[in-house]
């Protein structure tokens, strides 16, 4: 049975542990993502928010090795039987499904320090997204910025100016403090636009890959 990609350009893809059958996560695939998954043996998905393909574990190295791929009777949903390296959820839990609506509680699950896994930038960005998508009436500076675009933009401009002033004439500690402020507010701006920091990392890698850095350094020594 073949998938009708013209009818369903994006289909749900459920990742399931091949040994325990535990549901790990739900994402989406287009035809290119499925082909990459078949060719490489590792799960690739299509991000609806970032509008691009992504490999599971491309930044955390928590990849999903494909053991089998099942398709449902209507050919519009896929189950990936995977060997999960590390954890599936960005919160550090083994599975993305750890909340019970019926019992209104968090289901006990293995949790790992996400700062150690992803780095503070990625962890902070995911926290910003959680604030953005939360329906709860949370009083937080992040939520306030996300709900007031003008305030957010003014804070980014203000923090950028303070970084320049600090670099020009203030202490190292103050430079670090101001750069941290600017980084946080910039991440809020990325979250507002649903742009992952991964895309910034990829752009930096494209501009300043190892070969590019080495070339610049060699020119500096001439």
* Mean pLDDT to the nearest integer, 33-38: 94
What's the CA gap between 32 and 44, in Å, rounded? 9
| pLDDT (tens digit per residue) in 53-75 | 989 988 778 899 999 999 999 99
Whether residue 147 is found in the same domain as residue 202: yes
Whether residue 48 is found in the same domain as residue 85: yes
Whether residue 106 is found in the same domain as residue 186: no
Which of these ranges, 21-30, 172-181, 198-207, has the smallest mean pLDDT? 198-207
User: How many domains, the chain?
Assistant: 2
Domain boundary (114, 141, 165) is at 114
**Residue at 80 is within a domain:** yes
Which of these ranges, 87-91, 142-146, 181-185, 186-190, has the smallest mean pLDDT? 87-91
Of residues 213 and 1, more confidence is placed in 1
Query: Where residue 105 sits, what CATH number does that domain have?
Result: 3.10.20.810
**Residue at 4 is within a domain:** no
pTM: 0.53
- Count of residues making up the chain: 222
Place of tokens 């992952």: 196
Could you tell me if residue 61 is left (phi over 0), alpha (psi between -120 and 50 degrees) or otherwise beta?
left
Q: What is the percent of the chain with per-residue pLDDT over 70, rounded to a whole number?
A: 86
∠ CA(62), CA(63), CA(69), 5° rounding?
Answer: 140
Of residues 222 and 170, more confidence is placed in 170
Q: In which domain, by residue range, is 88 found?
A: 11-114
Helices (H) and strands (E) in the chain, counts: 8, 8
Bridge partners (DSSP) listed for residue 54: 45
| pLDDT (tens digit per residue) in 71-128 | 999 999 999 999 999 888 877 778 888 877 776 555 555 555 555 555 788 888 888 8
Domain boundary (114, 142, 170) is at 114
């Amino acid at each position: 049975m073949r998938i009708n990609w013209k009818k369903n350009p994006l289909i749900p893809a459920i990742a399931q542990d091949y040994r325990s059958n535990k549901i790990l996560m739900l994402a989406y695939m287009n035809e290119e993502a499925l082909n990459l998954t078949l060719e490489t043996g590792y799960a690739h998905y299509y991000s609806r928010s970032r509008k691009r393909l992504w490999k599971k574990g491309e930044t955390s190295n928590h990849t999903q090795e494909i053991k089998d791929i099942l398709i449902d009777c209507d050919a519009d949903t896929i189950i990936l039987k995977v060997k999960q390296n590390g954890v599936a959820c960005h919160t550090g839990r083994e599975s993305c499904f750890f909340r019970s609506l019926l019992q209104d509680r968090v289901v006990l699950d293995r949790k790992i320090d996400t700062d150690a896994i992803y780095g503070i930038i990625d962890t902070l960005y995911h926290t910003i997204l959680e604030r953005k998508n939360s329906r709860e009436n949370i009083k937080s500076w992040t939520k306030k910025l996300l709900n007031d675009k003008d305030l957010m933009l003014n804070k980014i401009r203000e923090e950028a100016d303070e970084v320049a002033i600090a670099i020009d004439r203030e202490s190292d500690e103050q430079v670090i403090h101001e750069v941290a402020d600017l980084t946080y507010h910039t991440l809020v701006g990325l979250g507002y636009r649903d742009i992952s920091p991964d895309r910034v990392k990829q752009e930096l890698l494209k501009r300043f890959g190892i070969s590019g850095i080495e070339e610049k350094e060699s020119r500096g020594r001439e």
